[in-house]
Chain A
């Protein structure tokens, strides 16, 4: 018993002494923000979809924003076919006009079907919940052994008249059914 107690104390001391050696990892949503921002260059946007000159390219987040300021750092100073990028936070899918990419937060999970039915055509929808694709989303971000992967719903993309680049289709990897828990 006594030696156990000592090892418990030693263990907690170890805990307190720990932070000297660290091995940083990157927060999941830092990287996912990068995916959301980079998707802009993997879709062949038609000039009509992008609107006239001066109309910003909209990257929108619907529901609770998990990215903090990370999306902004990825789009800073960048443009899509000459259109400046604007990040918008939405509380209702009916505000999605002008969004080219729409991230639907996991906070809206129970409402995915309603939201995805109401999203205008031509919007590239992104989620990070297991049933996002099944509910009609275009791209889903998931984690495979600590690394972010994307799966693409080709049918949903087609239905939305989105021309997804073959390079993205090759990088895409479906999430195994067993992980959709």
Chain B
């Protein structure tokens, strides 16, 4: 049906069912509630998903990447999917490295965002960051990605400071049958996924899958070929069972191995001290297993009990890092009286991490093996104050091995103005607890000329006395389905940070290496940084016709950082230079008849002043042909308007960025 025809039908529907204009269309019912079954069958409907229903009641800035967004983005990895979320900064450093954050403080080792897959925390305790190369989930298996901007500490705990990225994979009941995808292109994403799912007995479903990919190396800033090519594979399963009319059980697990490379700066002690760029392999093995049991009581309340085990072994930058986490969480959701909707929970996590230098230049951590425990409890109560007003208050209470007891309270007001629009406001406190390296790292960072002595080696060391970084955050938001075809979401925030990590100078000393003196210029981590961020984020969806949808987003971020008066950190105030002030994105999704989709997106990211990265626009496009129910064929182009650009540059020179290049690939999907 062409656009005009569709419009005419819609206008007809308005006449039919608005109730205001009666009897103008012969045979039409006066309003929906008296429509016959046959008439109901003629009404065109929109599917507002569960997520959108719950979204309208949330007192936080939430963006959900749904299945249509995933499929039509053409993205083959999680970082590229996150580019569509306003307020999220995604900068690719190399083929296998990304700097990803929400609302500023971006770095390869960004540590203020919590990332979960099906409720399993995937940040690495040693540095509180995420190895994004290990988030290798076939896009076909992602149900949705919920991105919560702003603190989520009350429910999620330490490290959910600037936001939470919650990746939810599909239930095995939704992936029955076979799936094979294969893609290949000029540089990236030569990849194969093979999966099969079916009934597990008569009361559940399972899936098993395997995957392999190979990504070629890019080029360095000076045009030389980089060493960031990588390849890897994995295998996994998921089982979802109905165990009784009140109980469900989900078990899932995955193992993956990747091998790649990357250029690292090595500081050689000497003397004389010197700096060299070395290629180091990045070899990673990781596995996880998770089980969740959910029970619904007769009164409608429900509990869930979840257990997982994460194991990681990684060689990178001349070290061997291992980490094993065991985590148990219990949650109970119940109604108390007629006004209170309460969720409370308990959690315990045990993390055992080791760090062993495999090269003489590498950093070390003290102690080399560390076992940490994290115990937590939280309670949150959504109180209905009136028909359309609710207040949610709660706090997390945690005990960690570094700073002891911490609490993370929050309060959110939601005013449901109408069925389709709401206004909310929130105030919250969140913390980032220090990590293992913050406390115990010993890191040869660089070499500086020292008059009269030749050179000195700068060594950054952890401090056991660090405080938890703290955020006090205030937000207001507006969310409205302005019409059945247009929705708008606005958020403005004001965030005050204290105790942010700084690097403080120590007193130089001389160490003898054999008989030769080495001047060591020590620096220690401190907690003397402050910041104030303000910003606003807008996202909108506009379904222009049944066949054409536009989605857009804009984010503005103003950061100001300053180290305390007693701090000797001279570069802390440069942090805003790592964040783009403006990000704008428009995505267009067009159905070309029933057989073809054509999707395109433009994203503009303003300059990173501190890194000498000019503003850039990224244009991606995808054309898909649904040959039959079983077969789909698509071609995707990324970064179409530029041969190569850089998205992130580490000014300290610790790691080398490589170019993000124009990429094209084709993908075939077979379902059986």
Residues of A participating in the B interface, judged by any CB pair closer than 8 Å:
1, 4-5, 7-9, 11-12, 14-16, 18-19, 22-31, 34-35, 38, 42, 64, 66, 68, 73-74, 76, 91-94, 109-115, 118, 131, 143, 146-149, 168, 171, 176, 178, 180-181
Contacts of A30 in B (CB 8 A): 32, 45
A7 touching B37, Cβ below 8 Å: no
Which residue in chain B gives the minimum CB-CB distance to A173? B41
Whether, in the assembled complex, B298 has its beta carbon less than 8 Å from a beta carbon of chain A, the answer is yes
What is the 8 Å Cβ interface bit string for chain B, positions 571-584, against chain A (1 contact, 0 not)? 00000000000001
Q: List 12 A-B contacts (CB under 8 A).
A: A4-B619, A5-B604, A11-B550, A24-B483, A26-B44, A28-B45, A35-B40, A110-B203, A110-B241, A113-B202, A118-B245, A131-B173
Contacts of B240 in A (CB 8 A): 110
Whether, in the assembled complex, B552 has its beta carbon less than 8 Å from a beta carbon of chain A, the answer is yes
Contacts of A73 in B (CB 8 A): 32-33
A7 touching B602, Cβ below 8 Å: yes
Contacts of B544 in A (CB 8 A): 18
Which residue in chain B gives the minimum CB-CB distance to A90? B300
Whether, in the assembled complex, B326 has its beta carbon less than 8 Å from a beta carbon of chain A, the answer is no
- Chain B interface main SS type: mixed
What is the 8 Å Cβ interface bit string for chain B, positions 27-58, against chain A (1 contact, 0 not)? 00000110111101111111110100100000
B174 touching A148, Cβ below 8 Å: no
Contacts of B546 in A (CB 8 A): 146
A111 touching B485, Cβ below 8 Å: no
Q: Find A143's partner among B6, B45, B175 (CB 8 Å cutoff).
A: B45
Whether, in the assembled complex, B486 has its beta carbon less than 8 Å from a beta carbon of chain A, the answer is yes
- Chain A interface main SS type: helix
Q: A35-B37, A93-B245, A131-B173 are in contact. Are A24 and B48 (CB under 8 A)?
A: no
Whether, in the assembled complex, B350 has its beta carbon less than 8 Å from a beta carbon of chain A, the answer is no
CA distance A74 to B585 in the complex (A): 42
Whether, in the assembled complex, B313 has its beta carbon less than 8 Å from a beta carbon of chain A, the answer is no
Q: Find B484's partner among A22, A34, A178 (CB 8 Å cutoff).
A: A22
B602 touching A4, Cβ below 8 Å: yes
Q: A1-B641, A4-B641, A8-B602 are in contact. Are A91 and B298 (CB under 8 A)?
A: yes
Which residue in chain A gives the minimum CB-CB distance to B294? A110
The 8 closest A-B pairs by CB, nearest first: A178-B629, A23-B10, A22-B483, A11-B586, A114-B245, A91-B300, A110-B242, A4-B617
Q: A1-B617, A11-B602, A35-B40 are in contact. Are A23 and B485 (CB under 8 A)?
A: yes
Would you list which residues of chain B between 477 and 497 have a CB under 8 Å from chain A? 482-486
CA distance A66 to B51 in the complex (A): 12
Q: Find A22's partner among B40, B245, B486 (CB 8 Å cutoff).
A: B486
CA distance A9 to B603 in the complex (A): 10
Closest CB-CB distance, B315 to chain A, in whole Å?
A: 39
Contacts of A148 in B (CB 8 A): 40-41, 43, 45
Which residue in chain A gives the minimum CB-CB distance to B175? A181
Which residue in chain A gives the minimum CB-CB distance to B585? A8
Whether, in the assembled complex, B643 has its beta carbon less than 8 Å from a beta carbon of chain A, the answer is no
Whether, in the assembled complex, B246 has its beta carbon less than 8 Å from a beta carbon of chain A, the answer is yes
A15 touching B540, Cβ below 8 Å: yes
Which residue in chain B gives the minimum CB-CB distance to A131? B173
CA distance A176 to B628 in the complex (A): 13
Contacts of A91 in B (CB 8 A): 296-300
CA distance A148 to B42 in the complex (A): 8
Q: Find B43's partner among A9, A31, A76, A131 (CB 8 Å cutoff).
A: A31
Closest CB-CB distance, A105 to chain B, in whole Å?
A: 10
A112 touching B617, Cβ below 8 Å: no
CA distance A112 to B642 in the complex (A): 52
Contacts of A181 in B (CB 8 A): 174-177, 671
CA distance A74 to B40 in the complex (A): 12
CA distance A104 to B377 in the complex (A): 34
B602 touching A31, Cβ below 8 Å: no
Which residue in chain A gives the minimum CB-CB distance to B619? A4
CA distance A111 to B202 in the complex (A): 11
Q: A38-B36, A149-B41 are in contact. Are A28 and B485 (CB under 8 A)?
A: no
CA distance A38 to B671 in the complex (A): 36
> Which stretch from B11-19, B87-95, B142-150 is at the chain A interface?
B11-19
B40 touching A38, Cβ below 8 Å: yes
Whether, in the assembled complex, B652 has its beta carbon less than 8 Å from a beta carbon of chain A, the answer is no
A109 touching B173, Cβ below 8 Å: yes
A26 touching B47, Cβ below 8 Å: no
Contacts of B348 in A (CB 8 A): none
Whether, in the assembled complex, B336 has its beta carbon less than 8 Å from a beta carbon of chain A, the answer is no
Closest CB-CB distance, B113 to chain A, in whole Å?
A: 25
Contacts of A149 in B (CB 8 A): 41
Whether, in the assembled complex, B119 has its beta carbon less than 8 Å from a beta carbon of chain A, the answer is no
Whether, in the assembled complex, B248 has its beta carbon less than 8 Å from a beta carbon of chain A, the answer is yes
A113 touching B602, Cβ below 8 Å: no
Q: A8-B584, A15-B552 are in contact. Are A25 and B44 (CB under 8 A)?
A: yes
B246 touching A74, Cβ below 8 Å: no
Q: Find B486's partner among A19, A74, A112 (CB 8 Å cutoff).
A: A19
CA distance A147 to B32 in the complex (A): 15
B246 touching A111, Cβ below 8 Å: yes
Closest CB-CB distance, B42 to chain A, in whole Å?
A: 7
Q: A147-B43, A171-B38 are in contact. Are A112 and B552 (CB under 8 A)?
A: no
Contacts of A15 in B (CB 8 A): 540, 542, 550, 552, 586
Known: A5-B604, A26-B43, A31-B43. 7 other contacts (CB 8 A): A4-B619, A7-B602, A12-B586, A14-B550, A18-B540, A68-B419, A147-B43
Contacts of B43 in A (CB 8 A): 26, 31, 147-148
Q: A1-B641, A4-B619, A24-B485 are in contact. Are A110 and B173 (CB under 8 A)?
A: yes
Q: A28-B48, A34-B35 are in contact. Are A18 and B586 (CB under 8 A)?
A: no
Whether, in the assembled complex, B616 has its beta carbon less than 8 Å from a beta carbon of chain A, the answer is yes
A12 touching B38, Cβ below 8 Å: no
